[in-house]
């Protein structure tokens, strides 16, 4: 038996014995926040997987990983999906700032931050966007001034997802306002539990508040928590964005992503609402769209697999923009299709006459619209693909 077959067998046996029932199927997934209590099985699963190094399977052992090879990693994910196990840990710690630190952090930063991130000790928020700096991120104006051993931060970030429950935030700040705009930026780690950091939830029309404004008023960050060098934040920050986009695209091999892709459930859901005649969808337009959607999903999954096999880092560079964009458009098309199939059942927002599944489908359809805004808009990804992947002129 080959080494990889042995690894698959051992993994299968270990997962069968150690993945508790409450960590399978849909349910709570930890992202490290100290403010969110974990259910019993969810905590147990996190502890067992962290102990084995499988919350961050490809990371070095000294930082909490298991040093799995690419092939072993793929087997682990297959086996997690086979038993419908949820990932034991997700979020910006293991997926964004962790791999950025591994690539670009100093050895002191890696030692101080990575083991805790691998065990889910602390949830992370992302402080990039500002009221005047979204797609044009390099126009950001949050200031950081060096005073002794600390930077003092002043400014306002917006759309900071999950900030109310986060313990730490990585922030793009301006450390030199006299340099050209891309050259005076740094990426710094900030403890959110201090009087100089204030979080204000932004209430959406739906009543939910997934976003926040995060204000820095003389907030302190350790000078040795600037990642990748002072005034080098544009390069470091862009690499972190590639980890974010790769996570959205399912090709960041830092964390252990279990569970089932939402797209694979879509045809089952659609079947509940359509009429079949002799096993075929009666509505020919919907039939063609569904076939096209299925083929695109298949192509997307093959591309993800190929990219994972071919890359020599934990996430690709500019190619992450292309796969993130095609994945987002595919997910949006799936929700469009479902709503088309549902007809009037798909226009409910609440109240009598609609099942929970139906109102949830409508909300999900709207929620998916954010996929082509978060992590850089559709147009920004197209600009990157044109310039950096295809080499077209500016």
Ligand X SMILES: Cc1cc2nc3c(=O)[nH]c(=O)nc-3n(C[C@H](O)[C@H](O)[C@H](O)COP(=O)(O)OP(=O)(O)OC[C@H]3O[C@@H](n4cnc5c(N)ncnc54)[C@H](O)[C@@H]3O)c2cc1C
| Catalytic residue ranges | 244
Collapse the DSSP code of 126 into the 3-class scheme (helix H, G, I; strand E, B; otherwise coil) and give the result: strand
Q: Binding of ligand X at residue 376 (CB under 6 A)?
A: yes
Collapse the DSSP code of 181 into the 3-class scheme (helix H, G, I; strand E, B; otherwise coil) and give the result: coil
- Shorter beta-carbon distance to ligand X: residue 92 or 289: 92
* x/- map, 150-189, ligand X, by CB under 6 A: ---------xxx----------------------------
Q: Binding of ligand X at residue 340 (CB under 6 A)?
A: no
- Shorter beta-carbon distance to ligand X: residue 325 or 342: 325
Helices (H), 250-283: 262-271
Q: Binding of ligand X at residue 129 (CB under 6 A)?
A: yes
Count, residues near ligand X per rule CB under 6 A: 17
Q: Binding of ligand X at residue 96 (CB under 6 A)?
A: no
The residue number with the shortest CB distance to ligand X is: 134
User: What tokens were used for 372?
Assistant: 């082509």
CA–CA gap between residue 278 and residue 200 (Å, rounded): 56
Q: Binding of ligand X at residue 282 (CB under 6 A)?
A: no
Q: Binding of ligand X at residue 126 (CB under 6 A)?
A: yes
**What separation in angstroms does the CA of 158 have from each of 34, 126, 155, 161, 213?**
22, 10, 10, 9, 4
Q: Binding of ligand X at residue 374 (CB under 6 A)?
A: yes
CB 342 within 8 A of CB 358: yes
- Shorter beta-carbon distance to ligand X: residue 50 or 331: 331
- Nearest of 371, 374, 285 to residue 335 by alpha carbon: 371
Look up tokens 């458009």; give the residue: 329
Question: Minimum distance from CB of 138 to ligand X (Å)?
Answer: 11
- Shorter beta-carbon distance to ligand X: residue 219 or 342: 219
Q: DSSP string covering 152-210, please?
A: EEEEEE---TTGGG-SEEEEEEES-TTS-TTTSEEEEEEESSSTTEEEEEEPPTTS---
Q: Binding of ligand X at residue 141 (CB under 6 A)?
A: no
Give residues in contact with ligand X (CB under 6 A): 126-129, 134-135, 159-161, 370, 373-374, 376-377, 379-380, 383
């Amino acid at each position: 038996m080959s080494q990889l077959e042995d690894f698959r067998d051992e993994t299968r046996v270990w997962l069968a014995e150690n993945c508790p029932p409450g960590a399978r199927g849909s349910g709570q997934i930890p992202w490290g926040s100290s403010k969110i209590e974990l259910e019993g099985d969810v905590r147990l699963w996190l502890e067992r997987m962290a102990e084995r190094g499988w919350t961050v399977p490809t990371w070095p052992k000294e930082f909490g990983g298991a040093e799995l090879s690419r092939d072993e990693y793929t087997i682990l994910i297959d086996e997690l999906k086979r038993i419908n196990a949820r990932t034991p840990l997700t979020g910006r710690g293991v997926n964004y700032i962790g791999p950025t630190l591994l690539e670009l952090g100093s050895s002191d930063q890696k030692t101080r931050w990575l083991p805790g991130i691998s065990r889910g000790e602390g949830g992370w928020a992302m402080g990039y966007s500002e009221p005047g700096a979204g797609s044009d991120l390099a126009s950001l104006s949050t200031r950081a001034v060096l005073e002794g051993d600390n930077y003092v931060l002043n400014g306002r970030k917006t759309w900071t997802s999950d900030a109310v429950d986060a313990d730490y935030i990585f922030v793009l700040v301006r450390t030199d306002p006299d340099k050209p705009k891309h050259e005076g930026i740094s990426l710094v780690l900030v403890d959110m539990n201090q009087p100089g950091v204030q979080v204000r939830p932004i209430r959406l029309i739906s009543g939910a508040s997934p976003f926040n404004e995060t204000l820095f008023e003389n907030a302190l960050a350790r000078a040795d928590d600037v990642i990748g060098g002072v005034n080098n934040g544009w390069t470091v920050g862009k690499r972190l964005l590639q980890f974010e986009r790769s996570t959205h695209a399912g090709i960041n091999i830092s964390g252990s992503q279990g569970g089932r892709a939402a797209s694979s459930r879509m045809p089952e859901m659609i079947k509940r609402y359509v009429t079949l005649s002799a096993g075929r969808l009666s509505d020919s337009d919907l039939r063609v769209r569904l076939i096209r959607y299925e083929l695109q999903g298949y192509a997307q999954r093959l591309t993800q697999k190929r990219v994972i096999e071919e890359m020599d880092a934990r996430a690709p560079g500019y190619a992450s923009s292309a796969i993130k964009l095609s994945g987002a458009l595919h997910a949006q098309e799936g929700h469009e299709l479902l709503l088309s199939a549902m007809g009037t059942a798909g226009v409910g927002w609440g109240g009598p006459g609609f099942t929970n599944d139906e109102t949830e489908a409508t909300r999900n359809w709207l929620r998916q619209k954010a996929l082509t805004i978060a992590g850089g808009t559709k147009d920004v990804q197209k600009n990157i693909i044109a310039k950096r992947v295809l080499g077209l002129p500016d």
